[in-house]
Structure 1
Amino acid sequence: MSYDLAVWEGERPADNKSARRSFNDLYDRFLDGEVKEPPSERITAYVAALLDRWCDITEDEKETSPWSAGPLIDSASGPLVYFGLAWGRAEEASAHAAAVAESMGLLCFDVQQDRLRPRAGSPNSGSR
């Protein structure tokens, strides 16, 4: 079992309910469909930034990677990447992943908490 995050390009939804709908639509279109698209340039750059901090689990000889599956880029299609984190590393790694997403102008949706990750310095990211 993993702790899942979704990161995508686009306008920030008005609230968490809208974010869930956006995520579901993107997932259905880009990851659950018959044809998977290559990841966009921004999503590719985002994945590369994550891998700058922790190596891909497929290359993890020291067992320090927080990713639950790899190669991490295989979790991306078009403007979306949906990836899992090992539960024991989820707090640290999800905070980093959300911060990197925001710094790159991307949206981060926490699937377990069913909410957008807060903007930096914000106590929360909106209502459900």
Structure 2
Amino acid sequence: MSYDLAVWEGDRPADHTTAGRVFRDLYDRYVDSEVEEPATDRIAAYVTALLERWCDITEDEEDTSPWSTSPLTGEARDPLIYFPMRWSMAEEASAYAATLAESMGLVCFDVQQDRLRP
């Protein structure tokens, strides 16, 4: 079981409902698409910062990485990254990911709870 977050570039939606619509639109355009667009510079920098905190699972010799897929950079598409993390580490990792996103001027959306974070 995994816990999923979405982080994207753009203005912070006014409410959770609007954020859900924005997320679904971005997901349809970039994740469900046949065309894989490279991450924008800001999203790439966000992923780099996440990987500075916890390594990619392909490099995780001590079983400390929260990421459920690898490479994490492969989850980033244009202005969006939609990424799963291990349920057992979701509380700590998602809190860090949400705070980091906010500090970088990005929007963080909790897919399970259909709400903005933090």
Q: What TM-score, normalized by structure 1, do the two folds share?
A: 0.91
Unmatched segments (≥5 aa) in structure 1: 119-128
Alignment of 1:1-128 (within 5 A): 1-118=1-118
Output the CA distance in 1 between the equivalents of 2:17 and 2:73: 27
Count how many residue pairs are aligned between Structure 1 and Structure 2: 118
Inter-partner Cα distance in structure 1 for 2:59 and 2:82: 20
Partners of 2:85 and 2:106 in 1: CA distance? 19
Identity of matched residues, %: 69
In the TM superposition, structure 1's runs of 4+ consecutive aligned residues that sit over 4 Å from their partners are none
Q: Secondary structure at the match of 1:81?
A: strand
Aligned counterpart, 1:125:
none
Q: CA deviation at 1:58?
A: 1.1
- In the alignment, the residues of structure 2 paired with residue 58 and residue 44 of structure 1 have an alpha-carbon distance, to the nearest angstrom, of 18
Q: How far apart in 2 are the matches of 1:17 and 1:36? A: 27
Structure 2 residue aligned with 1:123: none
Q: Distance in 2 between matches of 1:20 and 1:70?
A: 25
What per-residue deviation string (whole Å, max 9, x for no partner) do you get for residues 29-49 of structure 1? 011011010000000000000
